[in-house]
Amino acid sequence: MTTRQQVAEVEGWFTLDGAEPRLLGLRCPDCGTYVFPPRAIACPNPECPATELESVELSRRGTVWSYTVNHYAPPEPYVAPDPFEPYAVAAVELADEKMIVLGQVAGPLDGLAVGAPVELVIDTLYEDDEGEHVVWKWQVAS
């Protein structure tokens, strides 16, 4: 069995560290506002004039703030497995930053509920000739 090349589906939004993957965000050193995804050019806080944001790794854990289960394949460019399998998307409040980050839910949906603790994992989005395209997902923590 060969190990397939892992390709981050979006560059610079998360680490590919297998055991302890992290989302990569920005933090305003003046007012402490967090930003994800990390592509702001100035602090999004309208009362803060800061224009230099620092790169930070965000919490790997959080709690489900809301979620939905999708029973229909989204349109392209989404690469749907055939046959299509329903999947969940969760809005998760990060443990330390208290910001909401959306993500697909990995693994079985048992235990998925508002308030459930989840942790960040890196999981397959789809595979092609380039390799295994991966993205962050939320997994219900045991």
Least Å from the CB of residue 120 to Zn ion: 25
Give residue for tokens 């749907």. 80
Question: In whole angstroms, how close is the CB of 47 to Zn ion at the nearest point?
Answer: 8
Distance CA 61, CA 49 (A): 30
Determine the distance from the C-alpha atom of residue 77 to the mean position of all C-alpha atoms in its chain, rounded to a whole number: 18
Calculate Rg over the CA atoms of the chain: 16
Tokens of 7: 């390709």
Please choose, out of 47-55, 85-93, 102-110, 122-130, the segment that lies near Zn ion by the rule CB under 5 A: 47-55
Q: Residue 50 interacts with Zn ion (CB under 5 A)?
A: yes
Task: Report, in Å, the least distance between residue 82 CB and Zn ion.
Answer: 46
Closest CB 50 distance from Zn ion, rounded Å: 4
Spell out, one character per residue from 3 to 32, where the chain touches Zn ion: x when CB under 5 A holds, - when not.
Answer: -------------------------x-xx-
Q: Are 43 and 33 in contact (CB under 8 A)?
A: yes
Reply yes or no: is the peptide bond before residue 21 cis, omega within 30 of 0: no
Interface residue with Zn ion, options 23, 26, 35, 43 (CB under 5 A) = 43
- Distance from chain centroid for Cα 19: 15
Q: How far is the CB of 79 from Zn ion (least distance, A)?
A: 38
Task: Please give the Cα distance from 142 to 140 (Å, whole number).
Answer: 6
**Contact between 40 and Zn ion (CB under 5 A)?**
no
For residue 112, which amino acid is it?
L
Nearer to Zn ion, 36 or 138 (CB): 36
45 binds Zn ion (CB under 5 A): yes
Residue with Cβ nearer Zn ion (37 or 44)? 44
